[in-house]
Amino acid sequence: MVSNNFLKNKFGGTIIWHARDSETFNPIKYDKASIRDQYGIAKNKKIVMFCGSIRPHKGLDDLVRAVKLINDDNILLVLVGIENNQECDNLSRLANDLLGTKFMGIGLQPFNKIPEILTLADVIVIPQKKTFPSVGQMPAKVFDAMAMAKPIIGTTMSGLPNILEGCGLIVPPSNPKEMALAIEYLLHNPNYAAEIGSKARKKFNENYSWDVMGEVLLKIFNKYETY
């Protein structure tokens, strides 16, 4: 079993995507306004979010620079997954220097809090850089965001173009200007953002949910069933 097409092409096997429970990750269960109140975020803020492990190949410095290019006093970049390490310290320092009050860092969260956290967002960005670690990795957080019906921006790395085909926007890696334009487009076109978010949820349910992946796993395990 492998987790993406890159590994399948290299080693063979069956792809088992990083599936999620469609009932736990269900946007109708969460109220954005009340959750924003819990986190002290004003209702007029336009939240651009990355939620996941913070590593050099994730391209979060590019995301910070992209938000800096957007001339909108109401935009707020929320980075979820801030840890007590040098990488996160450097990233937080960059974000504070370039964005000031337009940046909010949130620490590591338990897995059961992720749907609530994602509810805060207006746009989710997965800004993978073009690096060796990115090539063989499928970011699990794209499936979290799809399940929560969020409009998503990804880069051309990690199979994201195929995953987000028809339900997200794709930009070149390490290109803050193009990333900024995509973010602005989604924020300025909320109906379109809601439409692709809905399509992302539908594609998730059809391809990447626990129920779907469970059926694939059963077929694999049944080949080796003994009596």
For position 224, what pLDDT does the model report?
A: 82
Least confident range from 48-62, 123-137, 154-168, 193-207: namely 123-137
CATH class of the region 24-207: alpha beta
Could you give the CA distance from residue 224 to residue 226 in angstroms, rounded to a whole number?
6
Could you give the CA distance from residue 137 to residue 18 in angstroms, rounded to a whole number?
11
Closest CA relative to residue 153, chosen from 190, 181, 133, 134? 181
> Would you list the domain boundaries of the chain?
24-207
pLDDT of 225 over the 80 cut: no
Task: Report pLDDT digits (tens) over 36-61.
Answer: 999 999 999 999 999 999 999 999 99
Structure tokens at 135: 């090539």
Q: Cβ(66)–Cβ(180) under 8 Å?
A: yes
For position 137, what pLDDT does the model report?
A: 85
- Beta bridge mates, 170: 154
Computed over every residue of the chain, the mean pLDDT equals 95
Could you give the CA distance from residue 120 to residue 47 in angstroms, rounded to a whole number?
7
Could you give the CA distance from residue 32 to residue 72 in angstroms, rounded to a whole number?
21
Least confident range from 67-81, 106-120, 130-144: namely 130-144
pLDDT of 226 over the 80 cut: no
Task: Report pLDDT digits (tens) over 1-12.
Answer: 999 899 999 999
pLDDT of 138 over the 70 cut: yes
Q: What is the CA radius of gyration of the chain?
A: 18
pLDDT of 181 over the 90 cut: yes
For the beta carbon of residue 27, count every other beta carbon within 10 angstroms: 16
Give me the mean pLDDT over the 53-70 stretch. 95
Q: Cβ(155)–Cβ(173) under 8 Å?
A: yes
Give, in degrees to the nearest 5, the angle at Cα 133 between 146 and 149: 5
Task: Report pLDDT digits (tens) over 93-110.
Answer: 999 999 999 999 999 999
Give, in degrees to the nearest 5, the angle at Cα 218 between 213 and 223: 135
The sign one gets for the Cα dihedral 8, 173, 82, 90 is positive
pLDDT of 84 over the 60 cut: yes
Distances (CA, A) of 191 to 30, 38, 131, 187: 20, 26, 34, 9
pLDDT of 158 over the 70 cut: yes
- pLDDT range class, residue 134, cuts 50, 70, 90: confident
pLDDT of 187 over the 60 cut: yes
- pLDDT range class, residue 227, cuts 50, 70, 90: low
Could you give the CA distance from residue 25 to residue 117 in angstroms, rounded to a whole number?
11
For position 89, what pLDDT does the model report?
A: 96
pLDDT of 146 over the 80 cut: yes
